[in-house]
Amino acid sequence: MQDLHEAFGGKKIVLGVTGGIAAYKVVQVARDMAQLGADVRVVMTRSAERFVGQQTFAALSGHPVLTSLFSSGADVPHVELARGADLAILAPATANSIAKVVAGMADDSLSATFLTVTCPVLIAPAMHTEMWQNPATEHNMAVLAGRGYYIVGPTSGALSSGDEGMGRMVEPAEIVSEAAEILARTSSLTGKRFLITAGGTREAIDPVRYIGNHSSGRMGYVLAEEAARRGAKVILVSGSTHLIPPVGVEVVKASSAQEMHDAVLAHASDADVIVKAAAVADFRPEIAADSKLKKDAGPPEVRLVPTVDILKELGHSSGLRKPGGILVGFAAETVRDEEQLVELARHKLEIKGADMVVANQVGVPDSGFEVPTNRAVIVTRTDVDRLGLVTKLGLAKRLLDDIAGLL
């Protein structure tokens, strides 16, 4: 109970209620969170009002309930509601409201609010089994999970129609406890300084050509976004990628391994956590020609020399880093066996002087470069976390949970 007070105390929670029978149970969710010290702000759809009166939520939350997109004043109510929220909860989440969130619609106060919030969102679906199992809803849920929305339930049991089956909203206590966990997790990195690298490097052969790699940058970008969402101040040193910079993250561009080295060292001494998710070239052409090498001159002899090993330098020169800071390296490996992956991660941990190494498989269809999933293990000096197949967002969340534990 003490933990719940700690998790909810002073937190602004947006509670979105949509038109399902389970709306009556969400009254309890509003009441519990308000009693635990949260500032609960309710927004309801027109359909939701057919099930529970707004007066009930207003009395329990101590605030007027938003039901209309337009107000007579100069303010923009849904923006006001969304601003500064620590968590938004959609419960019960109808099939319709889920579809609207996925599509990015904003034609009523609730959908406009959920399109505006930038905080974590928890969704508690409730619907009839056929609606839940419809490919449209299955697709929508997969999209939401991929976007990093938290989802609780549904569960199996008695449904409003008198049927039994999958689609019943989880009990209010489970929503409250899931919300508390998210709040605790999302504030775990508040004020911590993260330095994250992402993307591949490009080593010039001449002004036109370079040696590069297949890194898309997705892993580092997802990590940066999730760390910022959890309250960290994030500097993202980005190699080549086509990704859009995450909101609230400072991006520093670096093209070659040397540029990435210089950018990392410029910020390393301030960082509580350094995560090196970039695919940095191990070799570069010894000489980059000043002008374009001509085809007529025949194939050039390109001699490769080692680049600087940024992770090793950081791991072995404690003066470059903040005392007590955490250093995390990534290893891309082509082995198929998970035990071999663990061994390679342990070896890298040792030789680089890192605190944590994430080893992931590359060269398989569902893991590594340019795909949204990874097969990975996280190795520290004392533990091994075998993740199996996870989305890159899932991996980012697990890694940040582990880092928060170390901090």
Ligand X SMILES: Cc1cc2nc3c(=O)[nH]c(=O)nc-3n(C[C@H](O)[C@H](O)[C@H](O)COP(=O)(O)O)c2cc1C
Rounded to a whole number of angstroms, the minimum distance from the CB of residue 97 to ligand X is 4
Residue placing its CB nearer to ligand X in the complex, 47 or 340: 47
Residue where the block lists tokens 């052969």: 205
Residue nearest to ligand X (CB): 20
Report if residue 376 touches ligand X, rule: CB under 6 A: no
Residue placing its CB nearer to ligand X in the complex, 160 or 258: 160
Helix 392-406, helix 218-229: angle, nearest 10: 50
Burial class (CB in 10 A: 0-12, 13-18, 19+), 258: middle
Q: Could you tell me if 374 and 337 are in contact, meaning their C-beta atoms sit under 8 angstroms apart?
A: no
Q: How far apart are CA 131 and CA 137, in angstroms?
A: 7
Q: How, if at all, do strands 373-380 and 384-391 pair?
A: antiparallel
Report if residue 96 touches ligand X, rule: CB under 6 A: yes
- Considering only 43-51, 66-74, 255-263, 274-282, which stretch makes contact with ligand X by CB under 6 A? 43-51
Helices (H), 166-317: 172-186, 218-229, 257-268, 310-316
Report if residue 95 touches ligand X, rule: CB under 6 A: yes
Which of 8, 34, 45, 198 forms a contact with ligand X (CB under 6 A)? 45
Q: Could you tell me if 206 and 269 are in contact, meaning their C-beta atoms sit under 8 angstroms apart?
A: no
Q: Is 213 one of the annotated active-site residues of the chain?
A: yes
Rounded to a whole number of angstroms, the minimum distance from the CB of residue 141 to ligand X is 12
Report if residue 102 touches ligand X, rule: CB under 6 A: no
Q: Which of 140, 213, 360, 374 is catalytic?
A: 213
Residue where the block lists tokens 């969102």: 121
Rounded to a whole number of angstroms, the minimum distance from the CB of residue 111 to ligand X is 8
Instruction: Please provide the size of the chain in residues.
Output: 407
Residue 49: C-alpha distances to residues 13, 95, 262, 380 (Å): 20, 17, 58, 51
Rounded to a whole number of angstroms, the minimum distance from the CB of residue 158 to ligand X is 12
Residue placing its CB nearer to ligand X in the complex, 45 or 373: 45
Supply the DSSP string of 269-304, one letter for each residue.
TT-SEEEE-SB--SEEES---SSPPPGGG-S----E
- Considering only 41-49, 57-65, 187-195, 235-243, which stretch makes contact with ligand X by CB under 6 A? 41-49
Structure tokens at 55: 């007066």
Say what the alpha-carbon torsion angle 42, 48, 51, 55 is, to the nearest 10 degrees: 30
- Considering only 125-133, 275-283, 300-308, 354-362, which stretch makes contact with ligand X by CB under 6 A? 125-133
- Specify which residues 89 forms β-bridges with: 15, 122
Residue placing its CB nearer to ligand X in the complex, 154 or 325: 154
Residue placing its CB nearer to ligand X in the complex, 47 or 391: 47
Residue placing its CB nearer to ligand X in the complex, 98 or 274: 98
Q: Which of residues 133-192 bind ligand X (CB under 6 A)?
A: 160
Which of 127, 249, 274, 362 forms a contact with ligand X (CB under 6 A)? 127
Q: Which of residues 312-351 bind ligand X (CB under 6 A)?
A: none
Report if residue 42 touches ligand X, rule: CB under 6 A: no
By annotation, the residues acting in catalysis are 213
Residues that bind ligand X (CB under 6 A): 18-22, 45, 47-48, 94-97, 126-127, 131, 160
